[in-house]
Structure 1
Amino acid sequence: MGWVAVLVVLSVALTLIVFRVLRRKGREDEEHGASSVGFSANLALAVYLLVLAYAAVLCRDGLSVTEADVQAEAESLTEMYWAVAPIPEAAPVRTQIRQYTAQSIDLDWPLMAGKTMSPIPGQTLADARTTLLRLRPVGDEGRNLQQDALDRASEIAHARIIRGDDAGTGLESIFVISLIVSGLLVIALPWTLGVRPSSSSIIADVVRVSVVVIGVCFIILISHPFSGLGAVGPDAFQAAQREYDHIDGRFPAQP
Structure 2
Amino acid sequence: MGWVTMLVVAAVAIMLIALLVLRRRGKADEGGGSASVDFSANLALAVYLLVLAYAAVLCRDALSTAQTDVQAEAETLTEMYWSVAPIPEAAPIRAQIRDYAAKSVDLDWPLMAEGQLSPIPTRMLEDMRAATIRLRPVGEESKSLQQDALSHVSEVAHARAIRADDADAGLESIFVISMIVSGLLVIALPWTLGAKPTFPSVVGDAVRVGVVVVGIGFIMLISHPFTGLGSVGPDAFKAAQKQYDQIDDRFPVTAPAPVAAE
* TM-score class, shorter: 0.7 to 0.9
Distance 1:128 1:189 in 2: 61
2:103 maps to what in 1?
Answer: 103
Per-residue CA distance 1:27-68 (angstroms, 9 max, x = gap): xxx966211111100000000000001110111111111111
1:72 maps to what in 2?
Answer: 72
1:246 maps to what in 2?
Answer: 246
Asked if 1:172 corresponds to 2:169, the answer is no
1:47 maps to what in 2?
Answer: 47
What TM-score does the superposition give when structure 1 sets the normalisation length? Answer: 0.87
1:113 maps to what in 2?
Answer: 113
Q: Which moved more, 1:130-139 or 1:91-100?
A: 130-139
Distance 1:105 1:244 in 2: 15
- Whichever residue aligns with residue 201 of structure 2, its letter is S
2:211 maps to what in 1?
Answer: 211
Distance 2:216 2:33 in 1: 29
2:131 maps to what in 1?
Answer: 131
SS at structure 1 position matched to 2:38: helix
Distance 1:144 1:159 in 2: 23
Runs of 4+ in structure 1 over 3 Å off: none
- Whichever residue aligns with residue 35 of structure 1, its letter is A
2:86 maps to what in 1?
Answer: 86
Give the drift of 1:145.
Answer: 0.4
Asked if 1:199 corresponds to 2:171, the answer is no
Distance 2:49 2:198 in 1: 27
Give the drift of 1:199.
Answer: 1.3
Distance 2:78 2:124 in 1: 16
Distance 1:226 1:195 in 2: 46
Asked if 1:190 corresponds to 2:190, the answer is yes
Give the drift of 1:131.
Answer: 1.0
Asked if 1:225 corresponds to 2:225, the answer is yes
- Whichever residue aligns with residue 154 of structure 2, its letter is S
- Whichever residue aligns with residue 226 of structure 1, its letter is F
- Whichever residue aligns with residue 188 of structure 2, its letter is A
Per-residue CA distance 1:143-169 (angstroms, 9 max, x = gap): 000110010000000000000011011
Per-residue CA distance 1:161-215 (angstroms, 9 max, x = gap): 0000110111111000000000000000001111111111111101100000000
- Whichever residue aligns with residue 120 of structure 2, its letter is I
What TM-score does the superposition give when structure 2 sets the normalisation length? Answer: 0.85
Give the drift of 1:128.
Answer: 1.0
Larger relative contact order, structure 1 or 2 (CA cutoff 8 Å, min sep 6): 1
2:27 maps to what in 1?
Answer: none
Distance 2:234 2:248 in 1: 22
Distance 1:110 1:87 in 2: 35
2:141 maps to what in 1?
Answer: 141
The number of residue pairs the alignment matches comes to 226
1:15 maps to what in 2?
Answer: none
SS at structure 2 position matched to 1:136: coil
Q: Note the residue ranges of structure 2 that are not aligned, 5 or more in a row.
A: 1-29, 256-262
Distance 2:156 2:183 in 1: 43
Q: Note the residue ranges of structure 1 that are not aligned, 5 or more in a row.
A: 1-29
SS at structure 2 position matched to 1:33: helix
CA RMSD of aligned residues (A): 1.1
1:27 maps to what in 2?
Answer: none
Give the drift of 1:237.
Answer: 0.6
- Whichever residue aligns with residue 113 of structure 2, its letter is A
- Whichever residue aligns with residue 205 of structure 1, its letter is D
Q: Which moved more, 1:239-248 or 1:30-39?
A: 30-39
Give the drift of 1:129.
Answer: 1.1
